[in-house]
Amino acid sequence: MGNASPTRPPRLEDVASHAGVSHQTVSRVVNNHPNVSKATRERVEAAIAELGYRRNTAARSLVTRRSQIIGVLGTELAQYGPANTLLGVQQAAREAGYFVSIAALKESGADSIADAVRYFTDQGADGIIVIVPHDGTVQTLEGLNLAVPVVVVGAGSHGRFSGAMVDQKRGARLAVAHLISQGHRRIGHISGPLDWIDAAARAEGWREELTSARLADDLLLEGDWSAGSGYRMGQRLAAGRTATAVFVGNDQMALGLLRAFSEAGVRVPQDVSLVGFDDQPEAAYFTPPLTTVRQDFEELGRRCMDVMRTQIEDGAASSTTVVDPELVVRGSTSPLP
């Protein structure tokens, strides 16, 4: 098997010779194409590591006329959901051989979105992934006549735009169905800001599951995702004592709710059962450990890039990919006494 000359960096042909495969096979491995056997992939990856091969992205761009850059437009990146969605997209893009350029917006107004899109256009981005969780984002993008593929996270496909989402409504229904199965009939909901796509979908799922069980859906309080807002809503619920269970729109607000209930002498789950949303790493260490709905942000990132690549590399039409959430049952829920 051949080796690279010590006077030049290793090339793709050197990897192919070292691994005993064709250069097309090495190209497939480097570009993460699925039709490569596990054994062959491992042999090529071992040769890449041994030779220290790094592909020449600049030369590849000249051939393909693609920059290998994906623009990611995001707001509210301090929040757990958008931040972890961004991490998932970054990881998936890197594994697929793309670079990520990020435009983090302080607010999601039309002018800010248009400026960010121009920034990506100037860089020659091959596509744009949008992590802007507010209503109206898609309408703003539609007015910009974009010439590259766009994937909107948190929404279904809209015309030329693809969508990638966790099924928020299904997650909410899983949470409420669990509480109903425990015998609870008075189930409240503390939502996130209802101008967020995800918050509105979770509230809708809460309402639909209650309606299907012929239960009242009139105990809805709107928070702002923070533990502080959960604390304030918890004080109101503790004073009223109107619910035996509460579905909370995220784990941070659930943490504040637990504090308010503890101060008011409301026991969880003996007096009130509690379900959160997200499954933050800390959720298992709340007192009591929090039953919650898990979102797989790593999988969401992979799905985003799968959809993006089929449009960039294969010219596929826009589509929607949906990741199913998972209910994680812990100590904050129990059967109604």
What token pair was written down for 236? 């109101």
255 vs 226: CA distance, rounded Å: 9
* Pick from 2, 113, 88: nearest CA to 47: 2
Residues whose CB is less than 8 angstroms from the CB of residue 297 and which lie 6 or more positions away in sequence, other chains included = 81, 84, 85, 87, 88
| Interval 108-129: pLDDT, tens | 788 888 888 888 888 888 999 9
CA 224 centroid distance within chain: 19
Asked if residues 97 and 68 have their Cβ atoms less than 8 Å apart, the reply is yes
Give 79-91 as a DSSP string: SHHHHHHHHHHHH
Distances (CA, A) of 64 to 148, 169, 219: 15, 40, 56
Instruction: Tell me, yes or no, if the two domains 12-55 and 66-166+297-325 fold the same way.
Output: no
147 vs 144: CA distance, rounded Å: 9
Say if strands 292-294 and 326-328 run parallel, antiparallel, or are unpaired: antiparallel
Helix (H, G, I), strand (E, B) or coil at 30: helix
* Mean per-residue pLDDT, 303-319: 86
| Interval 193-226: pLDDT, tens | 998 889 999 999 999 999 999 999 999 999 999 9
Task: Give 58's pLDDT tier (boundaries 50, 70, 90).
Answer: very low
Residues whose CB is less than 8 angstroms from the CB of residue 65 and which lie 6 or more positions away in sequence, other chains included = none
What token pair was written down for 242? 């109107």
184 vs 287: CA distance, rounded Å: 21
Write down the residue that tokens 């004073």 correspond to.
Answer: 239
* Answer CATH for 168-294 from 3.90.1150.10, 3.10.20.600, 3.40.50.2300, 3.60.70.12: 3.40.50.2300
153 vs 136: CA distance, rounded Å: 13
Tell me which range, 81-90, 138-147, 182-191, is most confidently predicted by mean pLDDT: 182-191
Asked if residues 247 and 187 have their Cβ atoms less than 8 Å apart, the reply is yes
* Mean per-residue pLDDT, 64-79: 79
* Pick from 82, 17, 72, 23: nearest CA to 50: 17
* Answer CATH for 12-55 from 1.10.260.40, 1.10.3720.10, 1.20.1370.20, 3.30.1330.200: 1.10.260.40
Instruction: Please report, for the chain, how many H helices and E strands are present, in that order.
Output: 12, 12
Superfamily of domain 66-166+297-325: Response regulator (3.40.50.2300)
What token pair was written down for 228? 């502080």
Does the predicted model carry a pTM greater than 0.95?
A: no
What token pair was written down for 29? 């491995």
Q: What are the sequence ranges of the domains in the chain?
A: 12-55, 66-166+297-325, 168-294
